[in-house]
Amino acid sequence: MKVLVTGANGFVGAALCGSLAARGQAVRRALRRVSPAVEEEAWGSPAVSVGDLGPDTNWLAAVSGCEAVVHLAARVHVMNDRAADPLDEFRKVNVQGTLRLARQAAQAGVRRLVFVSSIKVNGEATRPGQAFHADDVAAPQDAYGLSKHEAELGLREIGRQTGMEVVVIRPPLVYGPGVRANFLALARAVKRGIPLPLGAIDNRRSLVSLDNLVDCIATCVSHPAAAHQTFLVSDGEDLSTTDLVRRMARAMGTSARLLPVPASWLEAGAALLGKRDVVRRLCGNLQVDIAKTQALLGWTPPVSVDEGLRRALVAANE
């Protein structure tokens, strides 16, 4: 099977291309621009330049001869977005750009499109013990989540009109080798022995290691039962923030210095400093139920949380 992967040089895309190639799939990488150095990269898979993702991107050469497409490229969620109209910018890339790809893929005879969406389509938080499910009513609360939801709806309609099989995967926070942003900052703080006021957080959050996400995507590329389905994915073990920090420390061969500050105090301090969103993610719940993914695909996360953390934190431990 020949598979086109968009965003192929990204955090998830690079790992996915390697995994698909190892499974014997013929991989074609779609990139904004292709340089000679990129052409010589591993996996023996050709790269094709498609330019910026948007409503006018021409995908015909990229999708020609492909049986499946995995769509990872997107305008990603960022804190303190400075765009004059963030929703409009998200829609141009994540909705119009995605639907343009889908229409041209269907036109070229692509059989299946796997769309990597976001758990933000479900919402921002869950009540204790009440996880998100794949078939819940969508409840996006920001521009990024809304754009992903609108893309999902458009893809479903294109699938109905053309017969192309659409598969949607909604991951929570993804961590793995090369992870950056808040996860890496937290890991570095733990490694340096900085005291953290996170020793009394009794919440539950679902995460997914890069290896587990890639394995689930690769499964959805070809599994017959994946057609026209939406799946949630995680490591299968939910952690409190306190437990996550302790296990990050253990993965790096050190001890976490945790101060038992009540979550209510953190929330009050965050309100004064304008950091409510940061503390919400640290103290709130966000759980996903992967029972449907396991039942329909016969899939279980191949990598444990502790092994996923060990692989992710090798660089931070050097």
Range of the domain at 32: 2-170
pLDDT band at 256 (very low <50, low <70, confident <90, very high): very high
pLDDT reported for residue 76: 86
CA distance 63 to 206: 34
Q: Is residue 108 part of a domain?
A: yes
pTM: 0.93
Which runs of consecutive H residues, i.e. helices, occur in 108-225? 143-162, 181-191, 210-222
Amino acid 227 reads A
Q: Is residue 226 part of a domain?
A: no
Q: Is residue 249 part of a domain?
A: no
CA distance 10 to 290: 25
Query: Is 14 a residue whose pLDDT tops 50?
Result: yes
Q: Is residue 98 part of a domain?
A: yes
Q: Is residue 14 part of a domain?
A: yes
Q: Is residue 72 part of a domain?
A: yes
Nearest to 13 by CA among 35, 29, 37, 26: 29
pLDDT reported for residue 37: 58
CA distance 113 to 30: 14
Q: Is residue 311 part of a domain?
A: no
Catalytic residues: 144
- CATH at residue 142: 3.40.50.720
pLDDT reported for residue 36: 60
pLDDT tens-digit readout, 200-251:
999 999 999 999 999 999 999 999 999 999 999 999 999 999 999 999 999 9
CA distance 62 to 293: 29
Percent of the chain with pLDDT over 70: 94
Q: 3-state DSSP call for residue 194?
A: coil
Domain count for the chain, please give it: 1
pLDDT reported for residue 135: 95
pLDDT reported for residue 45: 74
Query: Is 109 a residue whose pLDDT tops 60?
Result: yes
Q: Is residue 112 part of a domain?
A: yes
Query: Is 44 a residue whose pLDDT tops 80?
Result: no
